[in-house]
Amino acid sequence: MNVTRAITSAVLWICAWWLLAAVEAYGQTAMQADAYVVPHSATDSSTIVVFVRIPHTLHTFVRVTDPNEVGGNFKSDVVVSAELRDSIGVIRQRERWDHVVYATSYEETTSPDRYTIGWLMFRVHRGTYTVTLETLSRRSKEIVLDSLVAVHAADQARGMISRPLFVQAIARDGREVLRPYVMNGDIGFSAQDARALILLASSTDEEFDYIIRQLPYGPQEIQWWDNESIEGRAMASTTRVPRLSDDASSDEALLEIRRRDTSAIQPSTALLEIPIPVSVLVPGNYELALVRRSSWTADTLRVGFRIIWERMPQSLRSIDRALRLMHHILSDEQLDSLEGTSDVQRRRLLMDWWRRNDPTPTSTYNERMAVYFTRADEADRRYSTIQESVGSLSERGRVFMLYGPPTTISTLLPVNDEPRETWIYTNDVNKEITFGIDRQGIYRIRDVFDRSLLPAGD
């Protein structure tokens, strides 16, 4: 099926109401999905488009042995099956998405930060449907997308409004394209802002007030601090229409906003674009409420969503542990300044410290902080031993957290002296750090040499 042709030929009007089953909590990986419905103006039918996102950790990779396969050194066959049920539970359609995923290295095959994006499509008549998605991987759970309402364009009364599709703007060949998050209706925590695309049945441009409110945390959630509500006004435009981008592929779902000529055809839909300032928000639960300014009724739309830090470092989840790891870069006096009366206050003081020491402190998400605590997780994996049970608190762990992995490592095993291990950094760090292994099996820093003192050419 030609996905581009099917979508661009339709009168694009997103009217998806879906209830997504919960998958994994913060930091865990699972197949995720988002969906929307495209009514067709000429026929009594609609197209349900379902996006799926599958992390590499759910695939089973094998080494590529055919020299004619040039996609990568490893590959995995991915199959997603989907069943469409009507309101009484009868299976009306089945679809299957087959794809081959390639990876160039073993690290890519096990990386939770690498994903495969795909989509399936159903042509349906008016009604209410449920889509169940499942992969062949035993490590994946099924996802149920419930209450997908498909209606005929002629049935759409003025004022019907869609649930938002959250996207992220990226540059591609000098133009803006939009990448759906595909996170079960949620948004990823990052330094980049998001956008909510909302379509409504309207033949004229209309103005809306919106408000983004932070909701209370659940009992098992990490407690960040409270954000002020964000209010604004946006205009729904009948000349702007989201379409599947020509750059979209089976590895990347991309949309574009294109202009529609309304001089010949009376428009029946309008696009509302709401900015979601993720860069100044914290992970948690939120609600987006819209009010049509021409209406005297209550909220036109009220929908909940989450901002999720998917790959939040484990060492940052516990504020006690996070502050303990700050011993590597702060004095005792500076650490005392981060102590607050509650975990929420201590976390905010920690984030504020990183923001003050950020050359570009424009967002809540701090890339330097994320790298530092991600390295702490890696140091625990690499350098935890029987003698040094917490690798991130060891001297090797401290060097790794401050400078990253060395370019090369040399080992010396003298007969009458302690073993030595030298980390050589030929990058901007430009140091040689030598560790000695004492009689207790603990690595101690014995020497730090500045490589800039070497003669030129060495």
- Taking only the tens place, the pLDDT of each residue in 254-303 is 888 988 776 666 676 788 999 999 999 999 999 999 998 876 555 578 89
pLDDT at residue 230 in the model? 97
Indicate the DSSP class of residue 154.
G
Contact by Cβ (8 Å): 292, 300: yes
User: Which of 121-135, 241-255, 352-366, 393-407 has the weakest average pLDDT?
Assistant: 241-255
pLDDT at 17 over 50: no
- pLDDT value for 58: 83
Mean pLDDT of the 29-40 span = 73
Q: Averaged over 7-20, what is the pLDDT?
A: 28
CA dist 312 and 420 (Å) reads 35
Ordered by where they begin, the domains of the chain are 1-156 (2.60.40.150), 174-242+259-312 (2.60.40), 313-382 (no CATH)
Dihedral of alpha carbons 104, 106, 108, 110, sign: positive
Lowest mean pLDDT among 147-151, 250-254, 333-337: 147-151
For the cut 90, the answer to whether the pLDDT of residue 307 exceeds it is yes
Mean per-residue pLDDT for 183-198? 92
Confidence bin at 2 (pLDDT 50/70/90):
very low
Tell whether the model's pLDDT for residue 244 goes beyond 60: yes
pLDDT at 74 over 90: yes
pLDDT band at 381, cuts 50/70/90?
A: very high
With a pLDDT cut of 70, the percent of the chain lying above it is 83
Which of 147-156, 373-382, 409-418 shows the lowest mean pLDDT across its residues? 147-156
* Spatial CA neighbour of 181 closest among 131, 122, 130, 117: 117
pLDDT of residue 9: 30
> Token pair for residue 155?
């049935």
Most confident residue range from 34-48, 157-171, 211-225:
211-225
Contact present, 425 and 417 (Cβ < 8 Å)? no
- Check whether 420 has a pLDDT greater than 90: yes
Beta bridge partners, 233, equal 209
Whether the per-residue pLDDT at 4 is higher than 70: the answer is no
- Mean per-residue pLDDT, 63-82: 89
Q: Is the pLDDT of residue 55 over 50?
A: yes
> Is residue 150 over pLDDT 60?
no
Q: Are 14 and 86 in contact (CB under 8 A)?
A: no
Using DSSP, how many helices (H) and how many strands (E) does the chain show? Answer: 8, 24
User: Is residue 273 within 8 Å of residue 196, measured between CB atoms?
Assistant: yes
pLDDT at 27 over 50: no
Beta strands in 64-162 (DSSP E): 74-85, 91-103, 115-124, 127-135, 143-150
Q: What gap in Å lies between CA 146 and CA 132, rounded to an integer?
A: 8
pLDDT, the chain, mean: 82
**Dihedral pair phi/psi, residue 287, rounded to 5°:** -135, 135
d(CA 292, CA 356): 40
- The 3-state DSSP class for residue 439 equals coil
What is the enclosing helix (H) or strand (E) of 241? strand 240-244
Q: How confident is the model at residue 11 (pLDDT cuts 50, 70, 90)?
A: very low
SS3 for 197? strand
Sign, CA dihedral 353-359-364-367, equals negative
The predicted model scores a pTM of 0.79
Percent with pLDDT over 90 in the chain: 40
What secondary structure letter does DSSP report for 217? Answer: P
Alpha-carbon dihedral angle through residues 98, 119, 102, 407, given to the nearest 10 degrees: -160
Task: Tell me what pLDDT residue 433 has.
Answer: 96
On whether the CB atoms of residues 371 and 402 are closer than 8 A, the answer is no
Report pLDDT for 69.
87
The answer on pLDDT for 65 being more than 60 is yes
Tell me which residue has tokens 């030129």. 456
Instruction: State the Cα–Cα distance between residues 376 and 370, nearest whole angstrom.
Output: 10
At residue 210, what are phi and psi to the nearest 5 degrees?
-135, 155
Q: Given CA atoms 228, 234, 236, 239 in this order, what sign does their dihedral have?
A: negative
Quick check: 251 pLDDT over 70? no
pLDDT at 29 over 80: no
User: Which residue type occupies 382?
Assistant: R
Question: What's the average model confidence in pLDDT over 82-102?
Answer: 90
User: What is the spatial distance between Cα 330 and Cα 337, in angstroms, rounded to a whole number?
Assistant: 10
